[in-house]
Amino acid sequence: MSYTVTTAFATALVGWVLGASGYIESTAGETIIQSENVILAIRLLLGVTITVLFTLGFIVSLKYKITDRKLERIRYFSDKKRDGTFDMISDEEKQEYQELQKELC
């Protein structure tokens, strides 16, 4: 639900910004040349969005370090869940699984 609301808000925000900058909608077969304000708004929207997403990705990559060993264990536990044999893992593995969850979630 939250993803849907976020997507709807982001789409509306882009529409509002373009509308405020003077965006002109075209109909089928019609060619419209947009004003410099619209072109600037599109460039700013793309630039800000990419910068924010790259920054968030960088911060997350610093916070959640996933080594080859952790990735191997995550795959192991995922395979156990998919196979339906997760209930048969040892107590040490259950503890390791819980620690991985705490660290990565």
Q: What is the mean pLDDT of each run of 10 residues along the chain (105 residues)?
A: 85 93 88 93 95 93 87 93 93 94 84
pTM comes to 0.59
Q: Among residues 29, 46, 30, 27, which one has the least CA distance to residue 38?
A: 46
Q: Is 1 exposed, middle or buried (0-12, 13-18, 19+ CB in 10 A)?
A: exposed
Q: Give the per-residue pLDDT at 75.
A: 94
Q: What residue type is 91 in one-letter code?
A: D
CA distance 76 to 70: 10
pLDDT at 81: 94
Say what the pLDDT of residue 1 is. 58
